[in-house]
Each structure stands twice: as structure tokens, then as C-alpha cells.
Amino acid sequence: MAVYEYKGLDGAGRVTKGIIDADTPRLARTKLRRSGIFPTEITTDRHTKKSVAAGVSIGELFARIKIQDISVMTRQMATLVGAGLPIVEALTALIDQTENARLKKVITQVRESVNEGSSLADAMSRFPKAFSELYVNMINAGESSGALDIVLRRLADFMENQVILRNKVISTLTYPIILVLVGIGILSFLLISVIPKVVSIFDDLEQALPIPTLVLISVTDFLRDYWWALLIVIGGSILALRQYFATENGHRNYDRMILRIPITGKLLRIIATTRFSRTLAILLNSGIPLLQSMDIARSVVNNTVISGAVESAKEGIREGESIAEPLRSSNVFPSMVTHMIAVGEKTGELEQMLFKVSEAYENEVETTISRMTSLLGPVVILFVAGVVLFIVLAILLPMFEMNQIIR
């Protein structure tokens, strides 16, 4: 379907405008008249005009739907639905408020599907890139229970927490990454541009050069003459690893390997635990059955080893076991998590325990990242300083020997 911008008059004679999807402008006019709007102007949506070369919309090339966009939309929709607006009117208001071109198009198509009799969950399920399985299932639970506004608020809280957690990780790691890149840039400049000019004065010397100087000359000569081969080797290795990790076996081995890395492995395990526990808590609190909730929560951990443990736990639950026992036997989740889940099962407060687990581990994520950052900065500085010290010694040692010979 094409998307059209329209201007028209509503039943009260007020000017209104918006976007609508239809196969042709004529069908768009018919749809508008059925909804009580008399169109005065219909044009192709400026965000969906096709580019000559690729044949894709310009809006789709540059307007990616981010989790922040969905989070803001969900919060706004919770407010509108909580105020008593019908779903179609709430979606119409969202279309006017949304700035992201691609998301605006998605909401428009969702509204049209709801207008034609689909449920909100079914309409959203047609856009998996915008609305995840977790999102759709919770919307379905909200519609079924008549508490859509409450579910939307929970979803908004969940997504906002995910955005905050991700922003904390990114902001905390920004400084060390910049430090690493600057260090690599400085060393590359020294080894490729500066050092060859300095060590060239030793070429005519007949005396034996110290080992550090010989190593430095060999490294600079290699980088100057074979930098292209080094780039080819690095690029080829990256491509080969990406192809291997794209396979099922390679992906599993990669996920297992990163979990075994001393510091980052622990961090990734904690982040996965946080996602799993909060997602499962929200799903169960929204009235979604346990097995279905486990299946959805399994998909958000982004690690095949951990998701395999959740799948095994789900099979154990189907056979009559508790949740905590198979999770404990997997040796993937921290012991505190399985202990709190066991307590929650016994006391009938599983959702509250899962919320407490996610909050506790979110705080631990922030603490762990801060600790990593405080260590990584000095490590990078010491490494760069060590390389610079080696270069200085490699240059000064022959000069000292020449000075001794002159004397």
C-alpha cells in the first residue's frame, strides 16, 4: 500500500490533516469519507517517495525506528487510553505527535487494521521490527483483561528502564573507547611517519645496534612496506570469523566464549539475568501463562547458552518441576537469582521476587561498569606509556653508544 498525506474537513467543518494508507488516491478518499473526513487535498507522503536508484523510500533509508521512539509512543498511548480515548482516536493522536517517519507509517497502518476490525495486538504483530514478541503478547493480554492502559504503562516503564540501562553502558564505556582509539592513532602515527625518519640515521652505522632498536626498525619497516597486507589479513580474519559465528554452532561457541571472559563475561551474564528476570516479571504480572512467558523471556537474553538454560527450565516446568531447580542445575544463573526465585515460588510472590532480582542486578551492572572503566583507563595509559618508553629507549640507546665511542 502507498501512504498519502491529506488535508480535509471533519464533521464540524474544522480543518484536519494527517496520513492514510491505501492502494490508490481514490481509495484513500473513500476511506476518509467513511471516517467522516471530507478530503480537499491528497498527495503522496513526502517520506515515501521512491528514490530513482534504489526504489526505496527516503524516509526508510534514514528514519530507523529506535527503542526510544517506541518507548515514547507507548507512554503517550498509555496516557491517551487511560484518559478514555478509543484505540483508533489514540492512534490518530499518536500519528500527529510522532516525528519518526517510519514509525508514523507503521502506526498509520496499525490504525487502518484496527479500523477494519483487527485487534490492536494482531495489527502490531504484522510489524515485528517495530513491535517485539514481548510487546505484542503484553498488548494482547491487556486487551483480553480490559486493562490495556495498565499494561501500556508497564511496557513503557520496562522500555524506559532498558533505554536507561543501555545509555549507562554506552556513556560509561565512551571514555575508555575514545582513549583506546586515540592511543592507537598516536602509536600508528609515530611508527609509520615519525620513527622511520629518526632511525634512518642509524642505517650508515657499522656498529651493532641494540636489540630494542633492531626490533623497532623491523616493526616500522614492516608497517611501511606491508601495511596493505596487514589490512587484508585483519579484514579477512574479521570476515571469516563473522561467517563462522553466523552459523548455529559458531554462534553457540561465541556465546559460550564471551561468558568465560573474566570481567566482561560476568557483566554480560548479569545483563542477561536482568533482562530475563524483569521481562518474566512483567509478563507474569500481566496475566500471561508461565510457559509462554518463559518462551518470550528466553528471546530477550541475546545469548544462546543462557536461552538454552531457560529452554531446559521450561521443559522441566512442563514435566512438573519448579522454576528454580532447572535454572540452578544449569549453572548459568547466579545462585542468588535461583534462591530468590525459589522463595518467590514458595511464598506465591514470584513476580515481586523477579522485580527485586532485576533491580538488584541493574545496580550491580552499573557498579561493575564503573569498576571496569576505572581500571581500563589506567591500563590503556600504562600500555601507551610502555610503548612510548620502548620507542624512546630504542632511539636513545644507539646514541649513548655513539657518545661512548666518540669519547
| CA nearest neighbour of 2 among 36, 61, 47 | 47
pLDDT at 233: 93
pLDDT at 371: 79
Which are the contacts of 17, defined by CB distance < 8 A and separation ≥ 6?
5, 6, 7, 8
Kindly state the DSSP code that residue 161 receives in the 8-state scheme. H
pLDDT at 51: 37
In Å, what is the CA distance from 317 to each residue of 311, 365, 386? 10, 29, 55
Give the Cβ contact number of residue 168 at 10 Å.
15
| CA nearest neighbour of 360 among 273, 286, 293, 294 | 273
| Residue whose grid cell is 632498536 | 213
pLDDT at 108: 84
216, HSE (Cβ side, Cα atoms, 13 Å): 29
d(CA 369, CA 266): 11
Q: Please, what is the angle between helix 133-145 and helix 290-298, to 10°?
A: 150
Q: Cβ-count burial of 116 within 10 angstroms (0-12 exposed, 13-18 middle, 19+ buried)? A: exposed
pLDDT at 60: 46
| Residue whose grid cell is 557483566 | 267
d(CA 219, CA 234): 17
pLDDT at 56: 41
pLDDT at 310: 86
Read off the pTM.
0.63
pLDDT at 235: 92
Side chain identity at 389, as an amino acid letter? Answer: L
d(CA 112, CA 302): 33
**φ, ψ for residue 388 (rounded to 5)?**
-65, -40
133: left (phi over 0), alpha (psi -120 to 50) or beta: alpha
pLDDT at 50: 42
Low-confidence ranges of the chain (pLDDT < 70): 1-3, 21, 44-63, 202-207, 402-407
pLDDT at 240: 93
Kindly state the DSSP code that residue 12 receives in the 8-state scheme. T
